[in-house]
C-alpha cells in the first residue's frame, strides 16, 4: 500500500485526497539523509507526516526539484495533483498530510 495524501482543515476534515496505491512516489521522494530536501525528505512511509501553510513554500520548491525525476506521465499527473493540493494549503491556511502504511 502506498501513501495517501490529504488536504485537511484545522479540525481534521478531509477536503481533498489523492492516493498512490502503486507506490509511484516511493522511488521519487528523497531519503531523510538527503540534506538537499529538508522538508519532503521527512515524509514517513510508515507513519503520518504533516505540513502546515508556513512550510508550504519550501515544500513546493523541493517538490518541483523532485518532479524533475519523474519518468512517465502517470508520475507527472500525481506530482502535479499534489503540488496543486499544496498550493491550496498555502492559500487557505490548511494542512497537507501524508498518511503512510
pLDDT digits (tens, 9 = 90+) for 26-82: 989 999 999 999 999 999 999 999 999 999 999 999 999 999 999 899 999 999 999
Residue 59: its H or E element: helix 56-67
Query: pTM to 2 decimals?
Result: 0.95
Please give the radius of gyration of the chain, using alpha carbons only, rounded to the nearest integer.
12
Domain residues for the domain of 22 are 4-99
Q: State the CB neighbour count (10 A cutoff) for residue 12.
A: 9
Number of domains in the chain: 1
User: What's residue 42's pLDDT?
Assistant: 96
Instruction: Dump strand ranges (E) for 1-101.
Output: 4-8, 14-19, 48-52, 95-99
Amino acid at each position: 500500500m502506498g501513501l495517501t495524501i490529504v488536504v485537511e482543515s484545522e479540525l481534521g476534515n478531509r477536503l481533498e485526497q489523492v492516493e498512490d496505491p502503486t507506490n509511484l512516489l516511493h522511488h521519487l521522494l528523497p531519503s531523510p539523509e538527503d540534506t538537499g530536501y529538508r522538508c519532503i525528505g521527512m515524509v514517513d512511509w510508515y507513519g503520518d507526516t504533516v505540513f502546515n501553510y508556513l512550510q508550504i513554500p519550501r515544500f513546493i520548491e523541493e517538490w518541483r526539484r523532485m518532479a524533475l525525476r519523474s519518468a512517465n506521465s502517470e508520475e507527472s499527473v500525481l506530482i502535479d495533483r499534489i503540488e496543486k493540493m499544496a498550493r491550496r494549503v498555502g492559500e487557505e491556511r490548511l494542512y497537507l498530510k501524508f498518511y503512510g502504511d
